[in-house]
């Protein structure tokens, strides 16, 4: 019996010795996975499944089994021909996954539709200088394929042939060669336009408030109809600001916008 006990002790010691020797021999990190999958170790900062940084066909799962902020890591391989999609949280065909693991499917080539053309006589080219030089070709009416009647934009709009949409025509002050015009308030209900080529402006407001129309006759024969104004306005530029003065002619004279001068007031005999 003592001999048997000694034999068993020798076997145990032999096994332990063999285990120690085997543990000292370099080998794979984990026989279940390729070495590059487990080394260097992937980072776990929260629970969940994540794509493997070194192989799109693998993913790993982080699990906090003790709920103490320490994670166990488990590795999984997708079925052949599939990759792990982080967006869908599962293995999918490559065309369903985004880059870099998925294959980008090119969009179908764009085919430009047959363009509409402007109807002759309804198109205009605007030469724009502000804020930068450009040109716009805009049409009031369009003729499109497969449509018999011509198409039109809404009131006040023109069709931009380049941008292919209805748009307002460029503002007059942005066009090349346009004269800057400023509206100046004369009263609460009236404005007067001033510009370099319109220093003595006329408007409906001026005619209504300050002017009278005279029918003039030569005896019993009608001669002419003349508009004469008690007051008129003169524009001038003060540095970069437009200003306006209200003026009137000398006594017994009235201003004629048609003749651009002060004229004699018609007598009662001259009036019809």
Q: What is the pLDDT of residue 7?
A: 47
pLDDT tens string 97-156: 888 888 666 667 766 666 889 998 899 999 988 888 899 999 999 998 877 788 888 888
Q: What is the pLDDT of residue 29?
A: 59
- E-strand ranges in the chain read 48-51, 58-63, 72-77, 83-85, 90-92, 117-118, 123-128, 134-139, 141-143, 151-152, 158-160, 165-167, 182-187, 190-194, 211-218, 221-229, 232-238, 241-247, 253-256, 261-264
Q: What is the pLDDT of residue 228?
A: 94
- Closest by CA to 86, choosing from 56, 42, 63, 64, is 56
Nearest 10 degrees: CA dihedral of 163, 169, 173, 174?
10
3-state secondary structure of 169: coil
| Residues listed for the chain | 272
Q: How many other C-beta atoms lie within 10 A of the C-beta of residue 40?
A: 8
Q: pLDDT tens per residue, the chain (272 residues)?
A: 444 444 444 444 443 333 333 333 334 556 788 888 988 889 898 999 999 999 999 999 999 988 888 899 999 999 998 999 988 889 998 888 888 888 666 667 766 666 889 998 899 999 988 888 899 999 999 998 877 788 888 888 899 999 988 999 988 778 887 666 778 777 766 788 887 778 888 888 888 889 999 999 988 889 898 999 999 999 887 777 888 888 999 988 999 998 889 999 999 988 88
Q: How many other C-beta atoms lie within 10 A of the C-beta of residue 56?
A: 19
């Amino acid at each position: 019996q003592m001999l048997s006990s000694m034999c068993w002790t020798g076997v145990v010691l032999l096994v332990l010795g063999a285990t120690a020797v085997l543990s000292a021999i370099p080998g794979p990190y984990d026989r279940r996975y390729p070495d590059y999958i487990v080394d260097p170790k992937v980072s776990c900062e929260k629970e969940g499944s994540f794509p493997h940084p070194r192989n799109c066909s693998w993913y790993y799962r982080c699990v906090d089994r003790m709920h103490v902020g320490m994670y166990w890591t488990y590795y999984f391989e997708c079925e052949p021909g599939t990759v792990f999609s982080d967006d869908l949280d599962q293995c999918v065909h490559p065309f369903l996954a985004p880059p870099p693991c998925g294959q980008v499917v090119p969009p179908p080539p764009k085919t430009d539709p047959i363009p509409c053309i402007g109807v002759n006589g309804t198109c205009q080219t605007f030469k724009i200088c502000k804020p930068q030089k450009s040109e716009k070709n805009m049409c009031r009416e369009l003729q499109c394929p497969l449509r018999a009647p011509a198409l039109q934009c809404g009131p006040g709009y023109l069709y931009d042939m380049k941008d292919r949409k209805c748009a307002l025509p460029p503002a007059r002050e942005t066009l090349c060669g346009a004269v800057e015009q400023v509206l100046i308030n004369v009263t609460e209900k009236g404005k007067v336009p001033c510009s370099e080529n319109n220093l003595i402006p006329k408007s409906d407001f001026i005619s209504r408030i300050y002017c009278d129309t005279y029918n003039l006759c030569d005896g019993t024969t009608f001669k002419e109809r003349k508009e004469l104004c008690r007051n008129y306005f003169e524009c001038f530029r003060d540095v970069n600001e437009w200003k306006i003065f209200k003026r009137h002619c000398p006594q017994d004279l009235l201003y004629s916008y048609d003749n651009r001068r002060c004229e004699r007031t018609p007598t009662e005999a001259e009036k019809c």
